[in-house]
Amino acid sequence: MFRRFLSHSLLALILGSTAFVSAPVSARTWVDVSVGIAPPAPRVERVVVRPGYAWSPGYWRWNGGRHVWVGGYWLPARAGYRYVGAAWVRVGPAWQFRPAHWSRY
């Protein structure tokens, strides 16, 4: 009887102590991609305005060895925010990718 009590107590102590172990915190990460090759010109995408939605324009994604086109898509609009699409920016001799994001007015 005492052994069972002791084993259950030990098990409760072990399981209870794991509740205090913090899990990894998920946070927004920023990946900086710099490429020496200029991206091609953006493709023309014709869209019709959709009330209540924001258009995420297509962009060229770097695939480790070449640029690959990612087509645009609709996102539900967020009140008080404006959508800024993904873009490549020239920084010195390289090109840096800036991911799309929501920005407050």
Q: How confident is the model at residue 35 (pLDDT cuts 50, 70, 90)?
A: confident
> Does residue 17 fall inside a structural domain?
no
**C-alpha neighbours within 13 Å on the C-beta side of residue 43:** 14
| Residue 89 predicted with pLDDT over 70 | yes
The answer as to whether 22 is a domain residue is: no
- 33 burial (CB, 10 Å; 0-12 / 13-18 / 19+) is middle
Q: Would 97 be classed as within a structural domain?
A: yes
Residue 36 lies in a domain: no
How many domains is the chain partitioned into structurally? 1
Residue 101 forms part of a structural domain: yes
Helix/strand/coil for 12: helix
The reply to whether 104 falls in a domain is: yes
Residue 100: domain span: 51-105
Asked if 70 contacts 88 with a C-beta cutoff of 8 angstroms, the reply is no
pLDDT digits (tens, 9 = 90+) for 56-78: 999 999 998 999 999 999 999 99
